[in-house]
Amino acid sequence: MLDYFRSATTLFTQPIRLVRSFTPDTLRADFLAGLTVGLVLLPQSLAFAILGGLPPIVGLYSALTATIAGALWGSSSHLNSGPTNTAAIITLSVLAPVVTVGSADFVTAASLIAVMAGIIRLIMGVARLGILVNFVSDAVSVGFTAGAGILILSNQISPILRIDLPPGADLFTTISEISGHLDAIHWPSLAVGMATIALIVLVPRLTRKIPAVLISIVVVSPVVWFLDLKSQGVRVMGPVPPGFPPLAQLPIFDLDLIAHLLNGALALAIIGLVEAVAIARAIAGYTGQRIDSNQEFVGQGLANIVSGMFSGMPCSSSFNRSALAFQSGGKTALTAVVSGITVFLATTVLGPLLAEVPRAALAGALAVTAWSMVDRRNMARIWRGSRSEGVIMVITLVLTLTLPLQFAILIGVLMSLGYYLLRTATPRVEAVVPDAGFRHWESAQGQPMCPQLLVIDLQGDLYFGAVNHVEEHLLRLLDRQPGVRFMLLRMHSVNQCDVSGIRALETIRRALRVRGGDLYFVRVRASVMYRMQISGFYEQLGPERFLDEDKAIEFLFHRVLDPAVCIYECDRRVFRECQELPKQALPDHLTIPLLDGKLPAQINARALWEALHEPQPPTVIDVREPREFQRGHIPGARNIPLSRLISERDAVPAGPIVLVCRSGRRSMRAAALLAGRTPPPQVLEGGMLAWEAANLLEAVE
């Protein structure tokens, strides 16, 4: 508990660590970059407040308070918090059904929901829930952003054409109303809006040193004043009250209002956190800075709380302002602090000029920003890369256009979580075989497979949610291959395994043991091996069931698989070891029986060597193929391949016999053929491998 308290305390001491990072060089760079970002933040804060149905001054209050608080308590050196188009449109969507848009209560409710969203973010940060943003897929973010961009674009049609619409009108209402009032278009306002859009598009082709939005506002506003378009009906911002943001009178005891705003606050908190962390990580990809999601949660939480307490609106982080902070040479979070102070000084000094900014110009700037939010290239990449994620993206986009945004966001997040759970609960279980060069593994689908051994790739964790899928899939593979008795599981992609996973492996092993086979493993990770050891599963299997991947097939081929099946019953050459194996197909009416009952008697190499030197030595019958026999055999041995032994059992001489093969496995099958013989045959334990290992081949010769 004490460690947790200390850990939580460090989240609130971020400003101290920030101040310690200042140097004379960073102060100068941050000051210049902050001025640049502040000049962009100023018109954006006005525009985004209007987008949210709020007075422009509310955006300025948020630009000052939220930007500074987010910078001081966040973890990113370049993230710029404050009013954003996403936060503004969600605010309008949430509040419009509850409070009359444009009223004083609407402004108060906006401040209240900012505090509520901030508290949610703050709690998530203190609770160390920063990892949760990883569960919101890019498909949801891209789909929602595109939908929000379309909504923002539709909302700018009204101020550009100066056609009045019902407060909080949705996309379809906007299209319907505009279509029915085309004769009411105010052409001077349209000209101002289109001129602004044209400048924003053209300026970057000439220079990128000065923000295009700032240039367009600076150019268009004097023209409107000079031509006196205000008298012709072009609407302007109006007076901008100077001074420090006042404390808001929040209805914190209005539980009914809080209940109505809770879902919206949660949606604002979630999408804002996803947006902020995504932007911070994107820029950190260029700077190499380490981003702490929990610290960023605290920063975003405090930014919204401070914004709401000082008459501001819900806030998030802006990608274009954050990117501008990096491109302008900013080094630390002081850049964002300076940008907030710049807005405060500008409103104090430039208040009269800001009052003359045309609303159609701000709407044009927002329209360009909204269009850039529809990331068509990224949408196409998601659709091509994963059809499932593509469907989630499209559904999120459609819901964003048709439902209140808070519900669209929450449904998108739930779909993202559901898709994640579905993927983790259904890991890929795939039979694999060596490729043509025997260097890699590839899918066995459509490829010849070994009739004795299944090699399986497990692509996912063995936890309680996935074990049923894995177990059923493995059992289904065994059902399709009734002759398979052995299974090799490749576990390199299994990072975690719980008790349910161990039980599933035990079930598979029991199924193989019933067939007379067993279960083997390669590339078991340390965490999974530890679980196997503490559960007793490792001891139950024994260390010999855990193989080195480079030698696993060689070991199983020479020590475990039945060579009689390989030579006489299988015409495939799946593994490298199969390539030189003699193949001798049996006639259809002949079969080699399996061992039934107890194993035949075995004799070790030394005992056989001594028996061969007795007055009446046993007859040695080598059941290998002639080519194998010619490479080396026990002197005096008689070669009767197993395939011939089936039809020549009567040719086996009377008296004691010892059956010999390479490793002893074919000899076991030969002993099954000669069951009932008196005296019963013996099998050379370990076959010729054991004989040669004891140097007896040379000793006899």
Q: Which two tokens stand for residue 567?
A: 């030579």
Residue 701 has pLDDT above 50, yes or no: no
Per-residue pLDDT reduced to its tens digit, 428-443: 999 999 998 888 899 9
Q: How far is Cα 143 from Cα 409, in angstroms, rounded to an integer?
A: 10
Cα dist. 248→56, 97, 105, 130, 307 in Å?
16, 22, 11, 30, 10
648 and 696 part of one domain: yes
- Report pLDDT for 213: 73
- Report pLDDT for 242: 67
Residue 396 has pLDDT above 90, yes or no: no
Per-residue pLDDT reduced to its tens digit, 134-149: 667 778 878 877 887 7
Which residues, including other chains, have CB under 8 Å from residue 272's CB and lie 6 or more apart?
A: 86, 87, 117, 121, 300, 304, 314, 315, 316, 317
Question: Residue 621's beta-bridge partner residues?
Answer: 638, 659
681 and 573 part of one domain: no
- Count the domains in the chain: 3
For residue 225, being part of any structural domain is answered with no
289 and 380 part of one domain: yes
131 and 264 part of one domain: yes
Q: Which of 522, 545, 578 is the last residue of a domain?
A: 578
3-state percent breakdown (helix, strand, coil) of the chain, nearest 5: 60, 10, 30
Q: Which two tokens stand for residue 49?
A: 């407040």
Helix H or strand E segment including 59:
helix 56-73
Q: pLDDT tier at 282 (50, 70, 90 boundaries)?
A: low
pTM of this structure: 0.62
Q: How far is Cα 337 from Cα 36, in angstroms, rounded to an integer?
A: 12
Q: Which of 534, 563, 578 is the last residue of a domain?
A: 578
Per-residue pLDDT reduced to its tens digit, 617-659: 999 999 888 888 888 889 889 998 887 887 777 778 888 999 9
Q: How far is Cα 556 from Cα 241, in angstroms, rounded to an integer?
A: 83
SS3 428: strand
Q: Which two tokens stand for residue 449?
A: 């497979």
- Report pLDDT for 315: 93
CATH code: domain of residue 568 = 3.30.750.24
Provide the residue range defining the domain that includes 559.
428-578
For residue 632, being part of any structural domain is answered with yes
Which residues, including other chains, have CB under 8 Å from residue 147's CB and lie 6 or more apart?
A: 396, 397, 398, 399, 400, 401, 408
Cα dist. 499→153, 520, 533, 534 in Å?
53, 19, 12, 10
Exposed/middle/buried for 387, CB within 10 Å: 0-12, 13-18, 19+?
A: exposed
565 and 460 part of one domain: yes
Is residue 217 within 8 A of residue 365, CB to CB? The reply is yes
Residue 699 has pLDDT above 50, yes or no: no
Which residues, including other chains, have CB under 8 Å from residue 463's CB and lie 6 or more apart?
A: 424, 496, 497, 498, 500, 501
Q: Where are the beta strands (DSSP E) in 108-257?
A: none
Is residue 406 within 8 A of residue 260, CB to CB? The reply is no
Residue 155 has pLDDT above 80, yes or no: no
Q: How far is Cα 29 from Cα 330, in angstroms, rounded to an integer?
A: 6
Is residue 178 within 8 A of residue 163, CB to CB? The reply is yes
For residue 495, being part of any structural domain is answered with yes
Which residues, including other chains, have CB under 8 Å from residue 231's CB and lie 6 or more apart?
A: none
For residue 511, being part of any structural domain is answered with yes
Q: Which residues of 446-460 are buried (b: 16+ CB within 10 A; e: fewer)?
A: eeebbbbbbbbbbeb
Q: How far is Cα 190 from Cα 364, in angstroms, rounded to an integer?
A: 9
| Rg, the chain, Cα only | 38
- Report pLDDT for 302: 95
278 and 137 part of one domain: yes
Amino acid letter for position 388: S
Q: What is the average pLDDT across 188-199?
A: 91
Q: Which two tokens stand for residue 188?
A: 């001077």
Is residue 105 within 8 A of residue 53, CB to CB? The reply is no
- Report pLDDT for 285: 66
Q: What is the average pLDDT across 35-41?
A: 78
Residue 208 has pLDDT above 80, yes or no: no
% of the chain surpassing 70 pLDDT? 92
For residue 281, being part of any structural domain is answered with yes
Q: pLDDT tier at 167 (50, 70, 90 boundaries)?
A: low
The total number of residues shown for the chain amounts to 701
569 and 628 part of one domain: no
- Ramachandran angles phi, psi of 50, nearest 5°: -65, -40
Neighbours of 218 (CB within 10 A): 15
Residue 569 has pLDDT above 70, yes or no: yes
CATH code: domain of residue 672 = 3.40.250.10
For residue 180, being part of any structural domain is answered with no
Q: How far is Cα 508 from Cα 523, in angstroms, rounded to an integer?
A: 18
- Report pLDDT for 597: 58
Mean of pLDDT over the chain: 84
407 and 270 part of one domain: yes
518 and 618 part of one domain: no
Which residues, including other chains, have CB under 8 Å from residue 222's CB and lie 6 or more apart?
A: none
For residue 280, being part of any structural domain is answered with yes
Helix H or strand E segment including 41:
helix 24-51
Neighbours of 268 (CB within 10 A): 30
Q: pLDDT tier at 8 (50, 70, 90 boundaries)?
A: low
519 and 379 part of one domain: no
Q: Which of 519, 545, 578 is the last residue of a domain?
A: 578
409 and 495 part of one domain: no
- Report pLDDT for 327: 67
For residue 167, being part of any structural domain is answered with no
608 and 572 part of one domain: no
Q: What is the average pLDDT across 289-313?
A: 92
Residue 234 has pLDDT above 60, yes or no: yes
Helix H or strand E segment including 224:
helix 212-226
